[in-house]
Amino acid sequence: GSRAHLELAQRQGYLLRTTVTGPRSGITRVVYVYLPPQYFQPAYRAYRFPVIELIHGEPGVPQDWITVVGVTRTFDRLLADKLARPAVLVMPDANGGARISLQCLNQAGGPQDLTYLAVDLPGQFARTLRVRPPGPGWGVAGYSEGGFCAANMVLRFPRRYGAAGVLSGYFAPLDNQPAGSRDPVSPFGGDDRLREQNTPFDELLNLPSTT
């Protein structure tokens, strides 16, 4: 953009709305990305930023993080007060539409949301933005259904995330409400092993002990 736009981004950061198609999941969704002011400042030209992936609840849309929670305003204030370090915020559409509940899971015979959110998105943004690769430099957080997502995503992909935050979430999956389905359906097609692998309560019990 213009010099004036660059100077504004250097003071206020930049919020963009983009569409990302996952090469593994085949899912295409809208994603909001907030780039902090430091992203545009010369001192950070060679810096690769950590990322916080934010998952909304259901019912909800990704822009709820901005218009309801006010996460960008709060983050700007924390940065100005030097109470936080600069990071990129990634806010994906976790369900693909209203009255759809997929819980960020790979639905048996249906959308592969877990793959999209935990594999496709981090890989795509690591290639296209100046951010760190998936790993300790990535965090995930969510509220309500998004809280379950955050807990499950970090336990299923511990090498792709360094931290998770759960706000008013839950820790055992419910039935999903896929697009076009009148009734809730099991995400796992009756496979108890898959259910256990995607139940944070059970996943924690199966973690190896550490010293």
Instruction: Give the tokens for residue 137.
Output: 């430099």
- Read off the DSSP letter of residue 40: G
pLDDT at residue 97 in the model: 87
pLDDT digits (tens, 9 = 90+) for 177-197: 988 888 899 999 999 999 999
* Position 205, amino acid: L
pLDDT at residue 1 in the model: 66
Give me the mean pLDDT over the 24-44 stretch: 97
Q: How many CB atoms lie within 10 A of CB 210?
A: 4
Query: What are phi and psi for residue 163, nearest 5 degrees?
Result: -160, 160
Provide DSSP, 69-91: S-HHHHHHHHHHTTSS---EEEE
pLDDT digits (tens, 9 = 90+) for 141-153: 999 999 999 999 9
Predicted confidence band of residue 171 (pLDDT cuts 50, 70, 90): very high
Query: In the Cβ-directed half-sphere of 136, how many Cα atoms lie within 13 Å?
Result: 0
Give me the mean pLDDT over the 79-86 stretch: 94
pLDDT digits (tens, 9 = 90+) for 106-151: 999 899 999 999 999 999 999 999 999 999 999 999 999 999 999 9
Instruction: Identify the three-state secondary structure at position 194.
Output: helix
- Read off the DSSP letter of residue 132: P
Whether the predicted model's global pTM rises above the 0.85 cut = yes
Gap between the Cα atoms of 137 and 133, Å rounded: 7
Gap between the Cα atoms of 48 and 86, Å rounded: 10
